[in-house]
Chain A
C-alpha cells in the first residue's frame, strides 16, 4: 500500500465503544477545557463590550450604556476603517502568497541536497523566523532610512536615486510586506519540506525517470499531496497576518497618513489610545469575524479535499 493513496477514515472501534469513547474524551478534554476556559470569558466579554460605550471614564462609576450597534456603525462609516480592512487583507494575502511561493522554491531545492548541506541550509534559512517581531522591526527601521540608512547608502553607491522605503505611501506598504516575507517564508518552507519528506520517495523516483522538471514535480505531485498540511500552514499565517501590529507600528506607525493603516493600528488609534474600550472591542469583533471567514474557507477546502 503506497502512501500516495491517502485514505482518511475512522477506524471501527475494536475493543468496544466504551473503551474508545473513554479514550477520546480523555485525550480531547484537557485541550478543549484549557482553551475554552481561558479564551471563553475574554471573548464573551469582548463581544458584550462591543455593544456598549464603555470607556475608561464610565467604567469605574458604571455609568456606561448599552448602545447596540452604534460602535459598528461608527466603524463602517469611517472610510479609514474600510481602507484599513482593505490594506490588511491585501497584506495578509500578498505576504502569504509570496511566502508560499518562496517556500516551495526553497523546499524543492533543499530537498535534493545532501544530508549535511540540508541540515546546514535549513538551519540558516530558519533564522529570520527566530527573530522576535519587536527586535526585527526595530532593527529593520534604521536600515530603511533615506538619509542615514544602510540600504540607501548602497543604493546610492550603485548610482541609483534613493528609495523612500517608509515615506512613500505605496512603497511603505511594500516595505512592510517585504519584512513580513523575510520573517515568515522559512515557516512555509519548513512545512512544505516536512510535507515533502512525508511523501514516499518512490514517487520522486518515478518522476525523475520520466524526466519531469522540478516545477512539474512540485506543482503536479507535491502540492496536491501536501495540501492538507499546506492549508494548515497557510491558514495560520493568514490569521496571524490579519493581526499584524508591531511591524507596522514600529516601521511606519500606520503612516504616511493612513497609507499603512491596518485594522489593529486603527483599533489602537481610535480605541485604545482614547481608552474607548467599547469601540476597540467592536473593532476586535470585526477582526475576529474576518479571521472566522478565512477559517471557514480553509475548513471547507480541507474537507472538500479529503472527501
Chain B
C-alpha cells in the first residue's frame, strides 16, 4: 500500500511537471521557420539581405534562404513539390513554369493572401506590379506567384565602333557584316555579334524578340499554332542566317551567358544581345577593362513595317516566388513576400545588377542611379512581351528549343524545323 501511494504521488508530480513545462512552452511564441529555395544567381545576395531585414522587423519568423545550384535545380524543385514535401515553403523559378505548377496544384493561388491582413502585413497589391510580369504570372486574372525583377535581353554595343545602334534588323545585319572580319578584313572585331545557341538554355528566349517583331508567334489570337507561319519562318531564317554568314563565332551552338559576356568583354564581338543583368559587369572596369568605357546599350532591334514604323517586341521574363501548397507556414511565407515587394524595402535591399517588376521602383531615383542601361531597359519593358502563362508553356519551349537547335546546326531546314515544332505542339495540345 505504501509503495503504491509513493509511486502514485511520484507519477502525479511528474505529470504536473510535464504539464507546467508543456504549458510554459505553449505560451511562448513559437519561432516559425520559412525555407525559401532559390536558384543560384547574383540576386541571391538581395534575397539574403531582404531575409535579414525582414527578420529584424519580425523576430518570431526565421527566414532561411536555401541556395540551390543551377545544375539540376529544376529537378530538385519539381521533386520537392510533386512529393508534397513541406521542407520548402517558397519556391523560386522563372515565369514560364508557373502555368504548369498551378495546373498541377502545387503552388498557391495568391489572391486570398492579398486580402488577408494576417498574411499581407505590408499591404501590397497586385496593381503594384508592372503589367507584363503580372500577367505572365497570372492565370485567369489570379496571381499564382509574385514576380521578382523583370529581365530582358538588351543590345550592348561598342560606342567607339558604332555611332548609332541599329533600330531595325536590317540595320543590325549590315552593322554585323561591317564588323565581321570574314566579310570586312578591316574590321577591328572578329565577329559582328553573337547568338546564344546552346540547347536548353537561352536560345528560345533570344529568338523570341526576332519571332515576335517579325510578326510571328507561337499562338495566334484564336489559339491556333502559328510557329510555322511565313512570318515565324522568316524570323528563324534571319536568325539562322547570322550563323550561316559567319557573322557570329562558329561555336555559338554551345554559347550561353558566359560565352557571350566574354566575347564582348574581350572585344571579339562588336555588339551582343544579352541580359540586362550583364550591364553591371560590362560597365565595371575590373571585370571588363577593355570595354567598360565604350559601352552603349539599346533596346533590341525591331522589324521595319510597310508604313515605315519599327515594331520592337523585346522578350521579358521574371523570376517568380510562389508558395508551396504543402507548406505549413503559408501566411508567414506571404508576410515575407509582402515585405520583399514593398517598394521602399525593395530599393533598400536590391543590389546594382537587379532589375525590377514594381512600377514604383522602376520610376524611383534609387533605381535609375548607376544603371547605365536604364533608358534602354525602361523602353524594353514598355514594348516587351513575356511568354503566356499557359501550363503548356515550358513544354512548348522545349519543343521550340530543339527545333531551333536543329535549324541552327543545319540538321534541318528552317522550314522543316518549324513544321516539326508546329506538329509537336499540336500533338501536345491534342493529348490533353
Q: B259: which A residues are within 8 A, CB to CB?
A: 142, 145, 148
- Minimum CB–CB distance from A307 to chain B (whole Å) comes to 45
Q: B199: which A residues are within 8 A, CB to CB?
A: 252-255, 269
Size class of the B contact interface (CB-based, 8 Å): 35 or more
Q: In the complex, are the beta carbons of A164 and B250 less than 8 A apart?
A: yes
Q: B201: which A residues are within 8 A, CB to CB?
A: 253
Q: In the complex, are the beta carbons of A252 and B82 less than 8 A apart?
A: no
Q: Does B105 contact A (CB under 8 A)?
A: yes
Q: In the complex, are the beta carbons of B197 and A255 less than 8 A apart?
A: yes
Q: In the complex, are the beta carbons of B268 and A257 less than 8 A apart?
A: no
Q: In the complex, are the beta carbons of B104 and A57 less than 8 A apart?
A: yes
Most buried by B among A59, A144, A274: A274
Stretch at the interface among B32-40, B164-172, B231-239, B406-414: B406-414
Q: For A148, give its contact among B262, B391, B398, B408 (CB under 8 Å).
A: B262
Q: How far is the CA of A125 from the CA of B100 in the complex (A)?
A: 48
Q: Does A104 contact B (CB under 8 A)?
A: no
What is the predominant secondary structure among interface residues of chain A facing chain B?
loop
Q: Does A204 contact B (CB under 8 A)?
A: no
Q: A258: which B residues are within 8 A, CB to CB?
A: 405-406, 411
Q: Does B251 contact A (CB under 8 A)?
A: yes
Which positions 130-178 of chain A face chain B at CB distance < 8 Å? 134, 141-142, 144-148, 162, 164-169, 172
Which positions 233-288 of chain B face chain A at CB distance < 8 Å? 249-254, 258-259, 262-263, 266, 268-269
- Minimum CB–CB distance from B412 to chain A (whole Å) comes to 8
Most buried by A among B100, B199, B263: B199
Q: Does B200 contact A (CB under 8 A)?
A: yes
Q: In the complex, are the beta carbons of B268 and A167 less than 8 A apart?
A: no
Interface flags, A49-68, vs B, CB<8A=1, else 0: 00000001101110000000
- Minimum CB–CB distance from A230 to chain B (whole Å) comes to 34
- Minimum CB–CB distance from A248 to chain B (whole Å) comes to 10
Whether A257 touches B408, Cβ cut-off 8 Å, given contacts A148-B259, A167-B252, A273-B398, is yes
Not counting A148-B262, A255-B253, a sample of 17 additional A-B residue pairs whose C-beta atoms are within 8 angstroms of each other reads A56-B82, A142-B258, A144-B251, A145-B259, A146-B249, A147-B190, A147-B268, A164-B250, A167-B250, A167-B252, A168-B250, A257-B405, A257-B408, A257-B409, A258-B405, A274-B395, A275-B78
23 A–B contacts, CB within 8 A, in A order? A56-B78, A56-B100, A57-B100, A57-B104, A59-B104, A60-B105, A142-B262, A145-B249, A145-B251, A147-B190, A147-B263, A147-B269, A162-B250, A166-B253, A251-B254, A253-B199, A253-B200, A253-B405, A256-B409, A257-B409, A273-B394, A274-B394, A274-B395
